[in-house]
Every structure is written in structure tokens, then in C-alpha cells.
Amino acid sequence: MNLFSDRKYVISAIFISLILIYLIRLFYIQVIDKKFKLAANDNALRHKIEYPERGIIYDRQGKIMVYNEPAYDLMVIPKRVKTIDTSDFCQMLEITKEEFIEKITKLKKQKFSSFKPEIFINDISLETSLPLQEKLIKFPGFFLQARTLRKYPLKIASHALGYVGEVDDKIIAQNPYYRSGDNMGLSGIEKSYEESLRGQRGVKIVMVDVYNRERGSFDGGKYDTASVLGKSLYSSIDAGLQEYGEKLMQNKVGAIVAIEPASGEVLCMVSSPTYDPNLLVGRAKSKQYRRMLLDTLKPLFNRATMAKYPPGSTFKLVNALIGQHEGVINENTLFSCSRGFHFGGLTVGCHPHASPVNLRYSITTSCNSYYCNTFRNTLLKYKKTSEGFTVWRNHVLSFGLGKKIPIDLPQESSGNVPTVKYYDRYHGAGRWNAISIISLAIGQGEMGVTPLQMANFCTIIANRGWYYPPHLIKRIDGGHLDTTYLKRRFTTVDRKYFEVVVESMRNVVTNGTGRIAQLDSLSICAKTGTAENPHGKDHSIFIAFAPMNNPKIAIAVYVENAGFGATWAAPIASLMIEKYLRKEVKRPEMEKRILDANLLPKKSDWVTKK
């Protein structure tokens, strides 16, 4: 009997304890802990996202290239929208009544978000928001949420800087940081350095009265989280040089890339046609993007990093270096040239010049025959053509050609250096030799390189065999650069073979095919190129660096469908070098000729940058 009585008291005690715990918890939730009150008072409190300002981007001299302007998103809580004066509302926002009805109907149909704030119209400028703020009391359910828009004061370097846009469902699914309505970098530096630039969003909880007016922070801001500003970036771009390069390339199709050899820092990256980067900001962005996307000249396409061109005669420098390293030529090796290279029924033509030709003169006069012989002998050194070709190809790859370098941009083409497998498939295994692919000797055939790769290749020669991977950002406030861009890379060709090539490139400018690029008291070293183009006129190519010793700039210029390298690409490169090293240009006739030239293949249906 006592046992039964004791058990009854124990069970009663347990029940009483549970009830007490429940009551204490209920008291805590309702009276002490206001977090739960936040959820219960959604009709009186508003959670406002505090978007941080993205980091500012500067040029190498400290000029601002990208900054932020105040802007707003018009937010709406669909279930709170009542009958409003749609005419006045739509007029202020420059939308039609039909657009208003379509948007609000769509949002109200979303079962789980009709009580949550949703973006009704984003990227509203400060000017548009001012009259709207005064009248918001007339539009229950609507409120403004502050954010910023990117501004490009210099209107240059659109492809390098990139643009910002709203995230889509795919990005949100891949990265839990982002939410609907967030912006992120979608191209260029804005995308590559998104995590540094974006900062960290915060949340502010404010009290709202029945008239949709904010009445201050809830509980003194106790539950707010502060936003963290994005980190500022210091780019390697010289804004003055970039702007000048874009002017020289107006009404032309092609690219310019200039690099500081000692550091790998990109001094300018011009892709032409270009556009004012401010066009892809704000509410008009989608319309402008669609227009440019349909333009036949593809102003959105970054030719500097994505276009694949034949290297043409500039590639002879690669074969000059590989040939020396493989021991099939030296600076005294002679080959004859009778208006070209002749083998059986094959002829690779060449322009008239003295014969026989040594290594120095072959570069100075750009002799095709010399490099056909050099390439053939390099492959013949080995028992099998495929073995010799593999050795040759590995040397080429070590110069950063035919593969991504890489650069700190999200889109970069690898170019193309064909493989043994490719030729086995095309000709049949064991059924091809050096003569079958002799066009590679002079940078034609299946070879494809980007202007970035050619500028980097020129950097390697300027440095006599090494380079830092090209990069556009030299410093991050409160951050660190990727160590990829701080490690030297070396070619497979011995340093001792570079000097004769450098001296020969100097002769190209003083007494060869690149004389038009000569500049008094400045030792420019260069190589011209004219790349065959099956779709029209040849491409004009020029690579150069200066000064000859302790070089400060290496540059590659491509002008599509413009003919000889010396005609257009060479003077553009020379003017760019003068602008960078001397800070001013004192050749007005040459400058005017380039600025006035219109080399577009046909009239574009899009007015690009003015």
C-alpha cells in the first residue's frame, strides 16, 4: 500500500514539474524574450536588408574607375496592397498600368511570400525616388529599401571591369549567401573579385505605423546586424593609357593588351568595339544588353582574352628560340630563300630580300623560308615525327600559348596548339610529317592565340625567358592577392638563346619591317605580323616592348581585316608606348591618321561608345 502511495506522489510531482516548466517557458517567450515577439508582430515591424556598398576600384595611379551611387529598390508586401491611385503610381515609376497589374497579381499568387517583402521595381535612381518617398503614405504595402548602383566616371575598360546584375535561381541554389534580389558581379573584375567587393549584408528591424511610416528602430536596434563594406581594389590599369588605346581603336575591330614585364601587371586591356559601362547599370540595363547582344560587331565580346587569331609572323620568334635550344640552328646558320620555301610541289612564298639568310636577318626581314627550314629540322631531329612534334609543342606551351595563362578574369580562351592526336585523326597515324603541317612554322594553320597570350609572350622575350601570370589587380584593401600571380614561371628554352632574338627585334624597328614604329631616343624592340584570314582581309599584328633593357611595357596589337602589320598595328603600338613612357604623344600626323581611320568591315547597327 505504501509503495502504491509513493508512486502516486512521484507521478504527481512529475506532472506538476512539467506544467511549471511549460508555464515558465511561456512566460519567458511572451514577456522576456522579444525575439518571438518579432515574429508575432510582423504587421508592426519591418525587416530591412542593409546592403553594403561594394568596394571601390581604382587605377594604378589612384584614380577612381568604379564607385557607388545611392539607389533604391521599391519593395512590396503583396497582401497589404489596397486600392491605390495606379495612374499617379505608374507615372512616377514610368511603367504602364498593365505592367503594374501583372506584377502585383503574380506576387499575390505566391502563397508563401505574399506576406513577405518582395522587390517590385529595383534600381530606382535617387532622382526618381525623391517624389516617390513623399507620396509613399498613399500606397500601403510599398516601401523603399536603400541600395547602391555602380558608376563608371571614366567610361572606359568595360570588358576588364565587368558589370553587376541580379542573381538568378541557379546562383541562389549554388551559393547560400545570395537571396532573391541580391546583385553580384557577372563579368570582369566585378565577378573575379566578387567575394572581396560585395561585403556582408546586414538587417535592420524598424517599427512601422498603420500609415506605412517608419517610426524608428525596434528595441534600440538590439536585434539589428550591421552590414560590412566591400573591400576596395587597386587595379594595375593605367586609366590614361586605357582611354588613349580605346580612342585609337575607335572604328576598328581588334584588341590591345599591354603588360608591365617586371610584374605581370596589365597596363591596359582594350577590346574594340567597346561600350560605355554605365549602359549596363540601372533599370535600362536589360534593354541595352539586348541591343548590344544583337550587334553584328559584338561589343560585349572581350577580344583581348577570348578571340583566337593566328599569330602570323610574330610566331617566328618562337621557332627561332626553339630551334636554337634544340640545336638545329644558331645565329650563324644560313638558309637560302628564293622567293619562298620550296619542297617538291609545295611552295611557301616569301617577299623579295637578300639570300642566303642568317638568324638575325631572318627576324629583321621576316623570312618565311628560314622558319620553314627551322621547323622541319626541329621535327627531323627525332626518329619519329610525332616525337619531334611533341617536343616542339611542349616548348610552345611553356610560352603560355595554347593554354589558359591564367589571368584574374572569369573568361579566357585557351587558344589552340594542335596535338599529335589531332593530326593522327586528320591525316592518319604515321601518315603526316613536318611538310604536312609546315604552316605552323610561320604561325598559320591550326595555330590560335589570344591578344593576351601574345602580350604575355612579348613579356617573356623582354624578360629573357620568364614571366609572372598577367593580372589586373595589384592590391586588395584588407586582403591578399592570389599567390598564383606572385610566382615566376620559366620557359623550357635556355635564357642564353634570347639575347640574339631581342637584338634582332631591335633591328626590326631600326632597319626592318617595323620601321614605322621607330621613336627617337627610345629603344623599341618589335616584330610585325600579317595573319591570313579566310573570311576577309588579313589581320594586322604587332608585338613590341621598350626599352630594350630594363623594359617597362610589352604590348600586342591586333586589328582585324586591316592588312599588313606595319600599316596599322605597328603605329598603334608605337603611339601607345610613347604615351605610356613619355606621358604625351608628339607625332600628330601619325596620331591623326590612326584616329581618323575607319576600318570597320561594315556599318554596325549599334552605336557603340562615343
pLDDT-derived band at 486 (thresholds 50, 70, 90) equals very high
Say which residue, 39 or 458, is predicted with more confidence.
458
**301-342, pLDDT tens digit by residue?**
999 999 999 999 999 999 999 999 999 999 999 999 999 999
pLDDT of residue 131: 85
pLDDT of residue 21: 77
Look at residue 98 and tell me whether its pLDDT is greater than 80: yes
Per CATH, 45-235 and 239-290+301-596 having the same topology is answered: no
* d(C-alpha 243, C-alpha 432), whole Å: 48
Would you state the cell numbers that stand for residue 439, as one nine-digit string?
A: 604552316
Say which residue, 603 or 357, is predicted with more confidence.
357
What residue segments make up the domains of the chain, in order of their start? 2-33, 45-235, 239-290+301-596
Residue carrying the nine cell digits 637560302? 336
Please state, rounded to an integer, the average pLDDT across all residues of the chain: 90
Out of 3.90.1150.10, 3.65.10.10, 3.40.710.10, 2.40.30.10, the CATH code matching 239-290+301-596 is: 3.40.710.10
Is 156:243 a contact under the CB 8 Å cutoff? yes
The lowest-confidence range among 268-272, 509-513, 532-536 is 532-536
Cα–Cα distances (Å) from 252 to 68, 268, 534, in that order, read 32, 17, 19
User: Among 155, 5, 130, 158, which residue's Cα sits nearest to residue 70?
Assistant: 130
Say which residue, 16 or 76, is predicted with more confidence.
76
- Which one-letter DSSP state was computed for residue 91? H
* d(C-alpha 567, C-alpha 254), whole Å: 14
Say which residue, 47 or 596, is predicted with more confidence.
596
Cis (ω within 30 of 0) for the bond into 406? yes
Residues composing the chain: 610
Say which residue, 119 or 409, is predicted with more confidence.
409
pLDDT of residue 162: 97
Please tell me whether residue 483 adopts helix, strand or coil conformation.
Answer: helix
pLDDT of residue 604: 45
* d(C-alpha 553, C-alpha 264), whole Å: 10
What would the mean pLDDT of 195-203 be, rounded to a whole number?
91
pLDDT-derived band at 147 (thresholds 50, 70, 90) equals confident
Is 492:501 a contact under the CB 8 Å cutoff? no
Say which residue, 47 or 513, is predicted with more confidence.
513
45-235 belongs to CATH 3.40.309.10: no
Say which residue, 604 or 249, is predicted with more confidence.
249
**416-462, pLDDT tens digit by residue?**
999 999 999 999 999 999 999 999 999 999 999 999 999 999 999 99
* d(C-alpha 519, C-alpha 319), whole Å: 28
Look at residue 36 and tell me whether its pLDDT is greater than 80: no
pLDDT of residue 40: 46
Which burial class, exposed, middle or buried, applies to 130 when counting CB atoms under 10 A from its CB (0-12, 13-18, 19+)?
Answer: exposed
What would the mean pLDDT of 185-189 be, rounded to a whole number?
97
Share of the chain above pLDDT 90, in %: 68
pLDDT of residue 570: 97
pLDDT-derived band at 295 (thresholds 50, 70, 90) equals very high
Would you state the cell numbers that stand for residue 149, as one nine-digit string?
A: 548602383
Pairing of strands 183-185, 164-166: antiparallel
* d(C-alpha 192, C-alpha 184), whole Å: 11
What would the mean pLDDT of 196-223 be, rounded to a whole number?
79
Would you state the cell numbers that stand for residue 403, as one nine-digit string?
A: 593554354
User: Among 294, 289, 254, which residue's Cα sits nearest to residue 275?
Assistant: 289
* d(C-alpha 137, C-alpha 108), whole Å: 21
What would the mean pLDDT of 272-299 be, rounded to a whole number?
93
Q: Name every residue whose Cβ is closer than 8 Å to that of residue 470 and which is 6 or more positions away in sequence.
A: 257, 259, 264, 265, 266, 405, 407, 452, 455, 456, 459
* d(C-alpha 467, C-alpha 486), whole Å: 10
Look at residue 489 and tell me whether its pLDDT is greater than 80: yes
pLDDT of residue 367: 97
Instruction: Please state the pTM of the whole predicted model.
Output: 0.87
pLDDT of residue 38: 46
pLDDT of residue 602: 64
Look at residue 558 and tell me whether its pLDDT is greater than 90: yes
**474-484, pLDDT tens digit by residue?**
999 999 999 99
* d(C-alpha 8, C-alpha 24), whole Å: 24
Name the maximum alpha-carbon separation found in the chain. Answer: 127
pLDDT of residue 5: 58
The three-state DSSP-derived secondary structure of 456-508 is: HHHHHHHCCCEECCCECEEEECCCCCCHHHHCCEECCCCHHHHHHHHHHHHHH
How many other CB atoms are found less than 10 A from the CB of residue 14? Answer: 10
pLDDT of residue 211: 58
pLDDT-derived band at 2 (thresholds 50, 70, 90) equals low
What would the mean pLDDT of 30-45 be, rounded to a whole number?
53
User: Among 447, 504, 63, which residue's Cα sits nearest to residue 320?
Assistant: 504
The lowest-confidence range among 64-73, 172-181, 384-393 is 172-181
* d(C-alpha 468, C-alpha 297), whole Å: 32
**165-180, pLDDT tens digit by residue?**
999 989 999 999 998 8
What would the mean pLDDT of 156-162 be, rounded to a whole number?
98
